[in-house]
Chain A
Amino acid sequence: MSMSGISSFSAKHMNEIGLVVIILLLYLVFGNTAHGFTSANNQLTILRDVASIGIAAWAMTLVIVAGEIDLSIGPMVAFISVVLAFMLKANVPLIAAIPAALAVGAAFGTLAGLLRAYFDVPSFVATLGLWSALRGLALFMTDALPVTFNENAFMERLADEVFGIPTSAVVMLVLFVVFVMIARYTSFGRSVFAVGGNANAAHLCGINVKRVRVIIFSISGLLSAVTGVLLTARLGSGNAGAASGLEFDVIAAVVIGGTSLSGGRGSMLGTMLGAFVITLIGDGLVLRGINPFFQEVVRGVIIVAAVLANLMATRYRGQRTIRGN
């Protein structure tokens, strides 16, 4: 690659480069101060935790790029785990129970999408309603007690590892590749960017804006359901109170990843790195034995600082490039 090639590459991917630097810094700091941070075991824990944010974050990236928001992630994950656990408890065969659980997730997502696309209910409100309703429904169905089910080889496999890597992380990576392809190489993916960039213009170009708006929420519901299935396997039960506040980690990962909250711009790779940043911060603080209440404070500050540093770096880089030309 020529010098100008390198500099245009780095200008284009300034955000991602910045995140990699932040991740290396986190490893450097926590590696030296938090006992066991760099151990192989901890790396697997980190991968598991990244998966629980990442899978939902792939869909959230599309949602935010389209100029929308989905707040219902956490309750959706918990609700799906309860639904799946009930089905398994009733001895519904896995081959039917898992697709059914995924379908329920997609259906609730679609509902939010329909409200947004056809009734102009702002997605913030539609998914806020879903957020409350699903959490309530899950608690109501279980009386806030865990729903256990009989031992099941497949579910154990999901909670376990394949080739030494947590199964959930493998699922996350496979879905990552799928979503990179969707975002970059499908008409639907590019339509999401067009709708988020300028919905009027997209409509006049013949893009079915309503359909795009429905599908992104269907996908978001589906991927929350996938997260719900993996969580059920990991906990060995359905839990109405699980994944509390997960939506904020997911949104934070997407935004740290450089996706614009006003829509039209974003990257899956950025979201992946963002998910790592969030997870590493959480993991490092736990291992350092910081007071759990104070961890929240540190996390909040680091998240804002990371986004700020990224914005500054991108701006600085942008100016340099203009002068260079």
Chain B
Amino acid sequence: MTPKLMKASVATGGDGVVARVRGVVKKFPGVLALDKVDFEIRAGEVRALLGKNGAGKSTLIRILTGASAPDAGEVSILGHRLDQPGLSRTVEAARYGVRAVYQELSQVPEMSVAENLFLGRWHRARGLLDFREMERRTRAILDRLGLDLDPRAQIARLSPAQRQLAEIARVFLGEPKLVILDEPTSSLAAAQVELLFKAVRTLADDGVAVIYVSHRMEEIRQIASAATIMRDGRVADTVDVAEASTRDIVRLMLGHDESQDDVIAANPRFGAAPVVLSAAGVALPPKLERVDLELRQGEVLGIAGLLGSGRTELLGVLSGLAAPTRGEVCIDGAPQGNRDYRQRLRHGLGFTPESRKEDGIIPELGVDENIVCTNLDRVSEWGMLSWPRIRAAAEVIIQRMSIMAPSPSARIANLSGGNQQKVVIGRWVHAGSSILLLDEPTRGVDVEAKRQIYTIIRKLAGEGKSIIFVSSEIEELPKVCDRVLVLRGGCLVSEYSAPSLDAEELMASCLSAI
């Protein structure tokens, strides 16, 4: 397959090319990660890079940053061919101006924003570190980004979104020519996404080429002019974002027509079903002002909340991880007053955290143990664990959740993010929980896994489980929810029910002035 180059870039001629990849092949044991890939990006261009997990995006990025050397073909940055082996290859690429920000943060939490920015590239004055100069330059970069952060603030004390932005600030050091952002918005809410876009536009105006890896079409349309779609280690196509529909792009990603991307049939009639979880006037200042809500049996209740809207606090109060200063939470009509998190779990609650890697999976253990750990009594006989039972219980969940794992005992760390998330949800199905609190269950998960998760959630609701689905990716809520509450500034400001759920309306409600 010969990749079709973008019309626009052909028009500008061959001079402005910042990075060129020609006929690159990269093999890993058992996998052809890149299969004769050609790729070109010009100065000042913002190019979206899309593809399912395993399509070859990450490998292409590693080839560009010099983290991997191709088995065949060549890579050149500003006309210089990368030819160093091993570690010096990344140094070489960085010298030509290649900068990358990965999904996984690479910061030292105990150090300040400024120290992290200059990590390994410290400023020295007379042999000693010149903190004042580093802080001054950090402030200049943060100002340019429009970020209200103290350069001396400790990274550990920042919110995930602030950390992500502090990481992005790194690319402004030195003279960047090609900046690669790998899913930079997965922990950002709309306001911060705007900040990031502004930063990207500043870069592009300065003639920097930007590669923007993302799964969010709405963002891509705002920021990128062209999109390169990868599939099975090849470039499927490069399209003009303005001319291609989302459906066209999804089709290129999956290689077949994507017909199920519709709103999943929801059930708006819940008036008669019993209330299983309710909150009356709960508050947890300063983030959570006052919230009243009712979750009915078999319902999927969406909570649309951008970062800082109070969603973390609301989930904390509902789950018992945090005690509200006012108000009351009831499960099945029973006030939860002093019951802590673990007691509520025994009363049918299940909670999946926002950060899967830090709080969700137990990486060294197998898929099986990651599933059954919520209820070990169910896999015990005579007070001892029964491994045949553990395996059987895990297989039930693996099947119900469509988890792709080589075997039930495979280490969960080796699974893709989507499959890990299915395990984290599935462990509460194993526990027999009837109320599931899901915090950003599709964060950092590819398109296909997202759809599978929606389907699973609808199926669980169909079986009578009641689900709260918290998301800042507003456009996904109409696909899975029966009813959506919008949380803004610590209060529920509006309510929408299926079938009149509309992503744009929800987003507008999330964004409107406080």
Task: Say whether A198 faces chain B, with CB atoms less than 8 Å apart.
Answer: yes
Q: Are B351 and A264 in contact (CB under 8 A)?
A: no
1/0 contact string of B382-400 vs chain A (CB within 8 Å): 0111010000000000000
Q: A190-B376, A197-B362, A207-B373 are in contact. Are A185 and B385 (CB under 8 A)?
A: yes
Q: Are B364 and A197 in contact (CB under 8 A)?
A: yes
1/0 contact string of A207-223 vs chain B (CB within 8 Å): 11000000000000000
Q: Are B385 and A204 in contact (CB under 8 A)?
A: no
A184 interface neighbour in B360, B363, B376, B385, Cβ under 8 Å: B385
Q: Are A202 and B373 in contact (CB under 8 A)?
A: yes
Q: Are A187 and B377 in contact (CB under 8 A)?
A: yes
Q: Are B364 and A204 in contact (CB under 8 A)?
A: no
A201 interface neighbour in B29, B361, B383, Cβ under 8 Å: B361
Q: Are A190 and B373 in contact (CB under 8 A)?
A: yes
Q: Are A198 and B374 in contact (CB under 8 A)?
A: no
Q: Are B374 and A205 in contact (CB under 8 A)?
A: yes
Q: Are B373 and A204 in contact (CB under 8 A)?
A: no
Which B residues are CB-close (under 8 A) to A202?
Answer: 362, 373
Which B residues are CB-close (under 8 A) to A208?
Answer: 342
Task: Say whether A200 faces chain B, with CB atoms less than 8 Å apart.
Answer: yes
Instruction: Provide the bound-state CA to CA distance between A175 and B312, in Å.
Output: 46
1/0 contact string of B362-383 vs chain A (CB within 8 Å): 1111000100011111001001
Instruction: Provide the bound-state CA to CA distance between A73 and B388, in Å.
Output: 37
Task: Say whether B358 faces chain A, with CB atoms less than 8 Å apart.
Answer: yes
Q: How far, in Å, is B430 (CB) from chain A's closest CB?
A: 10
Residue of A nearest to B28 (CB): A322
Q: Are B385 and A190 in contact (CB under 8 A)?
A: yes
Q: How far, in Å, is B346 (CB) from chain A's closest CB?
A: 8
Q: How far, in Å, is B237 (CB) from chain A's closest CB?
A: 32
Task: Say whether A33 faces chain B, with CB atoms less than 8 Å apart.
Answer: no
Task: Say whether A41 faces chain B, with CB atoms less than 8 Å apart.
Answer: no
Q: How many A-B residue pairs have CB under 8 A?
A: 75
Q: Are B342 and A264 in contact (CB under 8 A)?
A: no
Task: Say whether B359 faces chain A, with CB atoms less than 8 Å apart.
Answer: yes
Q: Are B385 and A197 in contact (CB under 8 A)?
A: no
Q: A186-B384, A198-B363, A201-B360 are in contact. Are A206 and B342 (CB under 8 A)?
A: yes
Q: Are B374 and A206 in contact (CB under 8 A)?
A: yes
Which A residues are CB-close (under 8 A) to B431?
Answer: 206
Task: Say whether B97 faces chain A, with CB atoms less than 8 Å apart.
Answer: no
Residue of B nearest to A260 (CB): B364
Instruction: Provide the bound-state CA to CA distance between A260 and B342, in Å.
Output: 29
Q: Are A185 and B359 in contact (CB under 8 A)?
A: no
Which B residues are CB-close (under 8 A) to A2?
Answer: none
Task: Say whether B441 faces chain A, with CB atoms less than 8 Å apart.
Answer: no
Q: How far, in Å, is A203 (CB) from chain B's closest CB?
A: 8
Which A residues are CB-close (under 8 A) to B361?
Answer: 198, 201
Q: Are B362 and A201 in contact (CB under 8 A)?
A: yes
1/0 contact string of A56-85 vs chain B (CB within 8 Å): 000000000000000000000000000000
Q: A202-B362, A202-B373, A264-B363 are in contact. Are A325 and B384 (CB under 8 A)?
A: no
Which B residues are CB-close (under 8 A) to A116?
Answer: none
B427 interface neighbour in A181, A186, A200, A205, Cβ under 8 Å: A205
Q: A206-B374, A322-B29 are in contact. Are A194 and B385 (CB under 8 A)?
A: no
Q: How far, in Å, is A107 (CB) from chain B's closest CB?
A: 25
Q: Are A204 and B359 in contact (CB under 8 A)?
A: yes
- Within 298-325 of A, Cβ neighbours of B (below 8 Å) are at 322-323, 325
Which A residues are CB-close (under 8 A) to B120?
Answer: none
Q: Are A201 and B384 in contact (CB under 8 A)?
A: no
Instruction: Provide the bound-state CA to CA distance between A323 and B29, in Å.
Output: 5
Instruction: Provide the bound-state CA to CA distance between A196 and B346, in Å.
Output: 23
Q: How far, in Å, is A314 (CB) from chain B's closest CB?
A: 14
Which A residues are CB-close (under 8 A) to B341?
Answer: 206
Task: Say whether B426 faces chain A, with CB atoms less than 8 Å apart.
Answer: no
Q: How far, in Å, is B138 (CB) from chain A's closest CB?
A: 30
Which B residues are CB-close (under 8 A) to A200?
Answer: 353, 358-359
Task: Say whether B30 faces chain A, with CB atoms less than 8 Å apart.
Answer: yes
B380 interface neighbour in A187, A206, A325, Cβ under 8 Å: A187
Instruction: Provide the bound-state CA to CA distance between A184 and B386, in Å.
Output: 10
Q: Are A187 and B385 in contact (CB under 8 A)?
A: yes
Q: How far, in Å, is B202 (CB) from chain A's closest CB?
A: 37
Task: Say whether A265 faces chain B, with CB atoms less than 8 Å apart.
Answer: yes
B365 interface neighbour in A187, A197, A322, Cβ under 8 Å: A197
B373 interface neighbour in A181, A205, A264, Cβ under 8 Å: A205
Q: How far, in Å, is A208 (CB) from chain B's closest CB?
A: 7
Q: How far, in Å, is B26 (CB) from chain A's closest CB?
A: 16
Which B residues are CB-close (under 8 A) to A191?
Answer: 373, 376
Residue of B nearest to A262 (CB): B364
- Candidate in B363, B364, B385 with the most chain A CB atoms within 10 angstroms: B364
- Within 169-187 of A, Cβ neighbours of B (below 8 Å) are at 181, 184-187
- Within 323-367 of B, Cβ neighbours of A (below 8 Å) are at 341-342, 345-346, 351, 353, 358-365
Residue of A nearest to B351 (CB): A204
Which B residues are CB-close (under 8 A) to A260?
Answer: 364
Task: Say whether A37 faces chain B, with CB atoms less than 8 Å apart.
Answer: no
Q: How far, in Å, is B437 (CB) from chain A's closest CB?
A: 11
Task: Say whether A108 faces chain B, with CB atoms less than 8 Å apart.
Answer: no
Q: Are A264 and B385 in contact (CB under 8 A)?
A: no
Instruction: Provide the bound-state CA to CA distance between A310 and B360, in Å.
Output: 31
Q: Are A198 and B362 in contact (CB under 8 A)?
A: yes
1/0 contact string of B29-45 vs chain A (CB within 8 Å): 11000000000000000
Residue of A nearest to B360 (CB): A201
Instruction: Provide the bound-state CA to CA distance between A181 and B384, in Å.
Output: 9
Instruction: Provide the bound-state CA to CA distance between A205 and B350, in Å.
Output: 8
Which A residues are CB-close (under 8 A) to B377?
Answer: 187
Instruction: Provide the bound-state CA to CA distance between A322 and B411, in Å.
Output: 14
Q: How far, in Å, is A2 (CB) from chain B's closest CB?
A: 15
Task: Say whether A193 faces chain B, with CB atoms less than 8 Å apart.
Answer: yes
Q: How far, in Å, is B183 (CB) from chain A's closest CB?
A: 22
Instruction: Provide the bound-state CA to CA distance between A181 and B363, in Å.
Output: 22
Q: Which A residues have a C-beta under 8 Å from some C-beta of B?
A: 181, 184-187, 190-191, 193-194, 196-198, 200-202, 204-208, 260, 264-265, 322-323, 325
A186-B383, A206-B345 known, 5 other contacts, Cβ within 8 Å: A181-B384, A187-B380, A193-B369, A206-B375, A323-B30
What would be 20 A-B contacts, judged by CB atoms less than 8 Å apart? A186-B383, A187-B377, A187-B385, A194-B373, A196-B364, A197-B363, A197-B365, A198-B359, A198-B361, A201-B361, A204-B351, A204-B359, A205-B373, A206-B342, A264-B363, A264-B364, A323-B29, A323-B30, A325-B29, A325-B30
The 10 A-B residue pairs whose C-beta atoms are closest, nearest first, are: A264-B364, A197-B362, A187-B376, A200-B359, A197-B364, A206-B345, A185-B384, A198-B362, A323-B29, A205-B373
Q: Which B residues have a C-beta under 8 Å from some C-beta of A?
A: 29-30, 341-342, 345-346, 351, 353, 358-365, 369, 373-377, 380, 383-385, 387, 427, 431
